[in-house]
Chain A
């Protein structure tokens, strides 16, 4: 009787751990599948506008837009009221999707090969990949900072192209806009609105 119970328990633990593991998504596989989705859209025979709309869906699904938004605010995020945080998050998402999709839509069928990954902590893994060279440009190294706090739903937080972080560049650009306006966060909100409506 006891032996049977132990057998059941062991079987349960085994099955449970198997399912727990099978639900987590390895960051390198996640990045490669995201890249493949984007490449498929870019190579599809559809209008540029349709491509942009499809790319936006991929970004919403795979990028931690809210997290990037707060990162790019830097030290200024600590002074925001809840209302300002809400307004900023909404503006940033619109800004990000417009900026990201129009940047990406310029490429036609880019080939990206994921090569390796390095776990930095429980919450971050860096995935390394190569944008394969064409006759027009050399090979480009791209690293992806993947947020893995929820291993079942990893999210992209930064792209580091040849060692240059896009999120950091964005952060310093935002800081420059705020500082040029005597630390007024509303100046950044206005710039974001202007960009979104342009």
Chain B
């Protein structure tokens, strides 16, 4: 039971902190809905707890990680990115993006072999599409038209929504091949701890890349909780819309009303 809970939380971590984009299209409206923060009081308390934990553990570790030589950080980032293909590829297929699934499968094969377990991004050097975009089950549910539901802040793992939490549960219930071959021991080649190291590494890698942005945001926010909530929800909507184009992801109608300058 303890292992199940740990696995669940660690898996959620990857969803809560994954900032990826996609290539396809879907039919979601670009209207920016009102934020549904149904459990705001609890969420704010959890957020404060997470901030304390971040100050005590994650931020110092991330700062230490940033001092490692650049080739080590790039290699770690490449390795984790390559591993994430295992969850991206089934989601490419579920979203009907067979072409990208094929490209990502080839990328996984090339980087895991020629790229020495993904440490080197050999696929990009060989001319594969450079801009690899992560996908997860929360995004797939969104692309199918499932609404985000209430906003959640999970202990340790941070921002999420009911839909993203459901996506994370799908991962640990057989949807994540990496989880299956490590924690569920579908093969004898990996240890359970390999999964936790990789997920922990993902979190530290993400935190290290965003130390300055987070500090800046915290320093300049009057309500840091609301700023993080806004950025998380915008980011998830953008990923589900599968677009980086502002004309696709942002609703212009409220701008059109502003005429004063």
A and B contact pairs by CB, cutoff 8 A, 10 listed: A70-B258, A102-B219, A103-B216, A145-B246, A165-B234, A165-B246, A165-B250, A169-B234, A176-B223, A195-B222
> Residue B235 contacts which of A143, A157, A163 (CB distance < 8 angstroms)?
A163
Query: What separation, in Å, do the CA atoms of A168 and B203 have in the docked complex?
Result: 26
Which stretch of A14-22, A26-34, A120-128 is in the interface? A120-128
Query: What separation, in Å, do the CA atoms of A79 and B234 have in the docked complex?
Result: 27
Chain A residues packing against B (C-beta within 8 Å): 64, 66-67, 70-71, 74, 99, 102-103, 106, 118, 120-121, 123-124, 126, 135, 137-138, 141, 143, 145, 147, 149-150, 155, 157-158, 160, 162-165, 168-169, 172-173, 175-177, 180, 191-192, 194-195
The answer on a CB contact under 8 Å between A177 and B230 is: no
Q: Nearest residue in B to A98 (C-beta to C-beta)?
A: B220
Chain A proximity of B211: nearest CB distance (Å): 10
Query: Could you say which residues of chain B place their CB within 8 Å of the CB of A106?
Result: 212, 216
> Residue B220 contacts which of A102, A163, A194 (CB distance < 8 angstroms)?
A102
Query: With an 8 A cutoff between CB atoms, is B106 at the interface?
Result: no
Q: Nearest residue in B to A173 (C-beta to C-beta)?
A: B226
The answer on a CB contact under 8 Å between A164 and B254 is: no
> Residue A177 contacts which of B223, B247, B250, B256 (CB distance < 8 angstroms)?
B223
The answer on a CB contact under 8 Å between A120 and B244 is: no
The answer on a CB contact under 8 Å between A74 and B254 is: yes
Chain B residues packing against A (C-beta within 8 Å): 19, 21, 32, 35, 70, 209, 212, 216, 219-223, 225-227, 229-231, 234-235, 238, 243-244, 246-247, 249-250, 252, 254-256, 258-261
Chain B proximity of A159: nearest CB distance (Å): 10
> Residue B244 contacts which of A118, A124, A145, A163 (CB distance < 8 angstroms)?
A163
Chain B proximity of A85: nearest CB distance (Å): 9
Query: What separation, in Å, do the CA atoms of A195 and B70 have in the docked complex?
Result: 37
The answer on a CB contact under 8 Å between A169 and B222 is: no
> Residue A149 contacts which of B229, B231, B261 (CB distance < 8 angstroms)?
B261
> Residue A191 contacts which of B222, B227, B229, B244 (CB distance < 8 angstroms)?
B222
CB contact under 8 A between A67 and B260, given known A99-B220, A172-B35, A173-B223? yes
